[in-house]
Amino acid sequence: MSNILLIANIVVASMIVAFILLQGRGAGLGSAWGGGGETFQTRRGVEKVVMRLTVGFIFVFFALSVASLLIKKG
């Protein structure tokens, strides 16, 4: 069971990396703290879907990690 959770965790982590890389517009290190110079814009269309998928996969990753920890402990 722990091997299945480990494989699922690896797949979800890979998907999170892919979704984060798809959000590349204006995401430089300087713009993280307001140094980008652009104004705030709302996300629309595909950007909104990718952002929501990223957040969803992060929650799934967290849940899989906690489940894996509980199984190894028990």
The verdict on residue 39 lying in a domain is: no
At residue 38, the pLDDT reads: 57
The verdict on residue 40 lying in a domain is: no
At residue 39, the pLDDT reads: 57
For the chain, the straight-line distance linking the first and the last C-alpha, in angstroms and rounded, comes to 12
The verdict on residue 2 lying in a domain is: yes
Structural domain tally of the chain? 1
The verdict on residue 33 lying in a domain is: no
The verdict on residue 34 lying in a domain is: no
How does pLDDT run along the chain (74 residues), one tens digit per residue? Answer: 889 999 999 999 999 999 999 887 655 554 555 555 555 566 678 888 889 999 999 999 999 999 999 987 76
The verdict on residue 69 lying in a domain is: yes
Q: 56: domain range?
A: 1-22+46-74
The verdict on residue 15 lying in a domain is: yes
Residue 74 · residue 66 · CB < 8 Å: no
